[in-house]
């Protein structure tokens, strides 16, 4: 018998039908960031309906099996998760394999691991300055136009968009290249009547890095003295300092029913109108939202001027409640002035906060940006042996916040996080898009959840028919947590944010069938445990 005949007989089943090989969908090239979780969904299928097994390997990443996890899902797919370390920087190939027990299908996948510090490839918001603005409704019904400017070192176009929760009635006009735009909002009569604080969330997405998020608080202040409740209290005493580090401001603030958001500082190195100042939210360090102590550090204005120089910080501190009532320091139309003197001398060590290179160690030690929220000192090096335990020498030069470059001792995990927080198994659910990609949350209780600093948790709800959503959030006292129901498009439906507590009972109006989301968040930094439960009240609608 010829070979052709043998093959024909084999295919015809003369030796038993061995079946057909499985299929594995392409996932395309991947970009991973040191210290951030990479998630790849593997979708396999088998024409004969055979059960599938998944595996992976990489010649250039011999330790990949120690840190990566491949978890099968009930629908026959597999979830690959991996958090690269500093040793993994560079370009690699990970080979994914699906097998039906007899045949295998291999899929080599290119993965580029980028550093979390100093890579400078992600978009950066240049405008708006700071973290918020205060609009006195006595000055007019519309909030001043917010200009938006984004810089990206390696892209000429990107996507600029609003993220949920979207402020109802607001509009974002974006330039064709996505590198700029304007945000406008004329609050409705109902919004002006309730005043209070709203949050604008902007995202700049270059398609290569995780989107850069810009949160900007918009505070509506009631016209004149029209405050229906007791306004918040705010106490602050400025004083001059001599320091190479960034100076800090301390305030005591509170409200009879609690503050919905921490105080905000408007500051500048010159005495200018508040609309030209940078703003930054303070952090609760002691007490609670009813009566607490808050702090914030500001960039040292004397460091760029050299040792022995003195410069001033001009600032105003404001705090508001849910009723649109405000307190500020100073209480008149003036500004505080804090004089800061640079004494010179050695700077801080690795992972200490900084704003300028001169605040770090020696002449070649740099101030590095770790993610969007944190800048910390590195230490010049040429090998791992020069770095302390837990640090490694970067494989290539990293770029400082002032544009200087050099190899530096950086954390093995990629970030100088002061607070360690391990996410729960509901992740990824940090935004509305991730939530809608996740399976719907069933009615009932969900325990053992964890909110991490600078994080939010979103949960997908599906209403099969018109109903009210009744939800209960029960969390640890710190940080103060809030609960919101939004539409599929991110428009808020109901918000429960009782100040000073992490126990929130949400009772929505009747809403139509469709997709919705529950958002668990905190205006205060910190990590905390919580439980979440909900039911649908169909009979009420």
The domain locations on the chain are: 18-114, 124-221, 233-341, 357-411, 432-537
The angle formed by the CA atoms of residues 432, 434 and 440, to the nearest 5 degrees, is: 85
**Consecutive 10-residue runs of the chain (541 residues): their mean pLDDT?**
31 50 84 83 86 90 86 79 84 90 88 67 80 83 92 83 91 94 93 81 86 86 71 91 90 88 90 82 83 90 94 93 84 90 88 90 87 77 86 82 87 61 79 90 89 83 95 82 89 79 90 95 73 94 92
Q: Would you call 94 exposed, middle or buried from its count of C-beta atoms within 10 A (0-12, 13-18, 19+)?
A: buried
Quote the CA–CA distance of 184 and 175 in Å, as a whole number.
14
Closest CA to 283 of 418, 193, 423, 143: 418
Q: What pLDDT does 371 receive?
A: 60
Q: Which residues of 100-116 are buried (b: 16+ CB within 10 A; e: fewer)?
A: beeeebebebebebbbb
CB 34 within 8 A of CB 116: yes
Tell me the pLDDT tens digit for each residue of 22-70. 888 888 888 888 777 888 888 888 888 888 999 999 988 888 888 898 8
Q: What pLDDT does 223 receive?
A: 62
CB 308 within 8 A of CB 344: yes
CATH of 124-221, one of 3.60.21.10, 3.30.1490.20, 2.60.40.60, 3.40.50.2020: 2.60.40.60
Q: What pLDDT does 15 receive?
A: 42
Residues β-bridged to residue 411: 391
Q: What pLDDT does 120 receive?
A: 55
3-state secondary structure of 288: coil
Residues in contact with 431: Cβ distance below 8 Å, sequence separation at least 6, in sequence order: 163, 164, 456, 458
3-state secondary structure of 472: strand
Q: What pLDDT does 4 receive?
A: 30
Q: What pLDDT does 225 receive?
A: 58
Q: What pLDDT does 9 receive?
A: 35
Fold of 233-341: Immunoglobulin-like (2.60.40)
Tell me the pLDDT tens digit for each residue of 91-138. 888 999 999 888 888 888 889 887 655 455 678 888 887 778 888 888
Quote the CA–CA distance of 34 and 45 in Å, as a whole number.
32
Fold of 432-537: Jelly Rolls (2.60.120)
Q: Which residues of 494-517 are buried (b: 16+ CB within 10 A; e: fewer)?
A: bbbbbbbbbebebebeebeeeebb
Phi-psi region of 156 (alpha: psi -120 to 50; beta: other; left: phi over 0): alpha
Quote the CA–CA distance of 321 and 115 in Å, as a whole number.
41
Q: What pLDDT does 381 receive?
A: 93
DSSP string, 203-268: EEE-SSSPPEEEEEEEEEEPSTT--SSPPPEEE-----EE-SSPPEEEEEEE-SS--SS--EEEEE
3-state helix, strand, coil in the chain (%, to 5): 10, 45, 50
Domains 18-114 and 432-537 fall in the same CATH topology: no
Phi-psi region of 120 (alpha: psi -120 to 50; beta: other; left: phi over 0): left
Phi-psi region of 382 (alpha: psi -120 to 50; beta: other; left: phi over 0): alpha
3-state secondary structure of 104: strand
CATH of 18-114, one of 2.170.8.10, 3.40.50.300, 3.30.360.10, 2.60.40.10: 2.60.40.10
């Amino acid at each position: 018998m010829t070979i052709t005949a043998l093959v024909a007989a084999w295919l015809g089943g003369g030796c038993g039908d061995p079946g057909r090989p499985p299929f594995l969908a392409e996932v395309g090239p991947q970009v991973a960031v040191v210290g951030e979780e990479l998630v790849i969904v593997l979708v396999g299928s088998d024409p004969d309906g055979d059960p599938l097994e998944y595996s992976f390997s990489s010649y250039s990443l011999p330790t990949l099996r120690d840190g990566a996890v491949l978890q099968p899902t009930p629908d026959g797919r597999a979830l690959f998760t991996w958090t690269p370390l500093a040793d993994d920087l560079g370009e690699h190939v990970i080979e994914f394999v699906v097998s039906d027990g007899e045949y295998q299908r291999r899929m080599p996948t290119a993965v580029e691991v980028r550093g979390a510090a100093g890579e400078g490839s992600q978009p950066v918001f240049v405008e708006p300055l700071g973290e918020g603005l205060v609009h006195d409704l006595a000055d007019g019904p519309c909030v001043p136009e917010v200009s938006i400017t984004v810089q990206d070192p390696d892209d000429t176009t990107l996507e600029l968009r609003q993220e949920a929760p979207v402020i109802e009635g607001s509009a974002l006009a974006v330039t064709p290249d996505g590198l700029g735009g304007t945000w406008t909002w004329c609050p409705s009569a109902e919004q002006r009547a309730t005043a209070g604080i709203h949050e604008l969330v902007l995202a700049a997405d270059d398609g290569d890095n995780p989107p850069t998020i810009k949160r900007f608080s918009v505070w509506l202040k009631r016209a004149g003295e029209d405050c229906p409740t007791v306004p918040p209290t705010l106490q602050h005493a400025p004083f001059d300092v001599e320091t190479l580090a960034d100076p800090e401001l301390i305030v005591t603030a509170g409200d009879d029913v609690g503050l919905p958001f921490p105080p905000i500082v408007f500051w500048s190195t010159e005495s200018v109108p508040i609309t030209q100042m940078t703003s930054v939210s303070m952090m609760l360090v002691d007490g609670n939202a009813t009566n607490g102590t808050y702090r914030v550090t500001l960039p040292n204005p004397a460091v760029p001027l050299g040792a022995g120089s003195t410069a001033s910080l001009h600032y105003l501190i404001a705090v508001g409640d849910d009723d649109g009532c405000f307190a500020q320091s100073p209480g008149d139309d003036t500004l505080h002035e804090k004089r800061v003197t640079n004494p010179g001398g050695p700077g801080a060590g690795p992972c200490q906060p900084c704003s300028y290179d001169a605040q770090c160690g020696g002449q070649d030690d740099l101030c590095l940006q770790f993610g969007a929220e944190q800048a910390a000192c590195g230490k010049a090096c040429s090998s791992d042996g020069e770095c302390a335990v837990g640090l490694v020498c970067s494989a290539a030069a990293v770029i400082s916040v002032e544009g200087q470059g050099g190899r530096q001792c950086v954390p093995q995990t990629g970030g100088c996080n002061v607070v360690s927080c391990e996410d729960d198994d509901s992740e990824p659910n940090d935004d509305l898009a991730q939530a809608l990609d996740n399976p719907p949350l069933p009615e009932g209780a969900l325990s053992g959840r964890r909110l991490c600093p600078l994080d939010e948790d979103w949960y997908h709800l599906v209403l099969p028919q018109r109903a009210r959503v009744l939800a209960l959030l029960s969390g640890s006292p710190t940080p103060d947590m809030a609960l919101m129901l939004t539409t599929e498009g991110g428009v808020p439906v109901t918000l429960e944010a009782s100040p000073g507590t992490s126990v929130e009972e949400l009772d929505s109006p009747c809403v139509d069938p469709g997709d919705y989301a529950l958002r668990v968040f905190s205006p205060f930094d910190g990590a905390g445990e919580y439980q979440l439960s909900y039911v649908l009240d169909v009979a009420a609608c």
